[in-house]
């Protein structure tokens, strides 16, 4: 009988006297606003840097297009042979690691017409100005043309030469020194210069031999594919 009365009291207790625990799973309006503000601040900091980096990459790629056209024009007008020099890291290089990992490019010039004698079995290497020159070592007719590019330009961090394809070489060149020649006759080495940033951003700079036409493609495209289009 006494137990029944206690149950009756519990049942008839007014609902406004019963205590409830707050819902910890929910968010207050202030918490939501704070979260949104934090996300907006992070995006405001990161997005401009990403856009600036992307614009920087595209600017470098476009520069190769204008540089190629400029070299062809200079070669025809001056009766000289120009070449775009592309430097990629070499295997087994004993130089400092930071120097070895640089991707650079510059311009060289030689009087008259000089043919491309690139030998894939014996690729050219940078000469050391401090090293003593051998008597039987041939002198290169080319020298840097600082009027077009004052000094070797380094690709911005993250951007690299993935490979370079030349029509007279049966395989892509992925390390060392590569030359793309521009002759006084108006002809140019047919080439595909591949640039890469990270895993997703890739560009191909396609250079035609007869017309010197230059095209920038926002993806990897090898010479065989370029000829088939």
Closest CA to 212 of 87, 112, 82, 109: 82
> How high is the pLDDT of residue 17?
46
Q: Could you tell me if 155 and 60 are in contact, meaning their C-beta atoms sit under 8 angstroms apart?
A: yes
Give the DSSP letter of residue 129.
T
Q: Please report, for the domain that includes residue 183, its CATH number.
A: 3.55.40.10
**Contacts (Cβ under 8 Å, ≥6 apart) of 151:** 106
176, 125 contact by CB (below 8 A) = yes
**Domain-located, residue 151:** yes
Which pLDDT band, with edges at 50, 70 and 90, does 141 fall under? confident
Number of independent structural domains in the chain: 1
3-state secondary structure of 25: coil
Whether residue 149 lies inside any domain: the answer is yes
Q: Determine, yes or no, domain membership for 193.
A: yes
Angle at the Cα of 101 from the Cα atoms of 177 and 98, rounded to 5 degrees: 130
Output the pLDDT for position 22. Answer: 52
Residue 1 within a domain: no
> What pLDDT digit, counting tens, does each position of 26-45 carry?
568 787 777 777 766 665 55
Q: How far apart are CA 20 and CA 73, in angstroms?
A: 83
Query: How sure is the predictor about 224, in pLDDT bands with cuts at 50, 70 and 90?
Result: confident
Q: For residue 215, give its domain range.
A: 65-134+141-228
The per-residue pLDDT for range 145-164, each reduced to its tens digit, is 999 999 999 998 888 999 99
The answer to whether position 9 is within a domain reads no
Label residue 198 left, alpha or beta by phi (over 0 means left) and psi (-120 to 50 means alpha): left
Report if residue 74 sits inside a domain.
Answer: yes
Please calculate the CA angle 146-149-152 and round it to the nearest 5 degrees. 100
Integer Cα distance of 145 and 82 in angstroms = 9
């Amino acid at each position: 009988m006494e137990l029944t009365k206690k149950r009756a009291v519990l049942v008839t207790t007014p609902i406004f006297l019963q205590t409830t625990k707050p819902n910890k799973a929910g968010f207050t309006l202030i918490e939501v606003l704070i979260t949104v503000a934090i996300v907006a601040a992070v995006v405001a900091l990161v997005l401009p840097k990403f856009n600036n980096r992307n614009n920087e990459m595209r600017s470098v790629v476009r520069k190769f297009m204008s540089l190629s056209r400029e070299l062809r024009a200079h070669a025809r007008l001056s009766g000289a042979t120009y070449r775009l020099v592309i430097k990629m890291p070499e295997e087994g290089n004993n130089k400092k690691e930071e120097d070895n990992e640089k991707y650079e490019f510059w311009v060289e010039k030689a009087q008259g017409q000089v043919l491309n004698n690139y030998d894939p079995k014996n690729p050219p290497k940078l000469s050391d100005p401090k090293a003593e020159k051998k008597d039987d070592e041939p002198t290169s007719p080319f020298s840097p043309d600082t009027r077009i590019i004052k000094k070797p330009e380094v690709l911005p961090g993250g951007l690299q030469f993935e490979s370079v394809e030349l029509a007279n070489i049966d395989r892509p060149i992925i390390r060392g020194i590569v030359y793309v020649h521009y002759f006084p006759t108006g002809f140019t080495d047919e080439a595909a210069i591949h640039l890469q940033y990270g895993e997703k951003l890739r560009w191909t700079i396609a250079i035609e031999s007869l017309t010197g036409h230059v095209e920038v493609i926002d993806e990897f495209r090898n010479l065989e594919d370029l000829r088939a289009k």
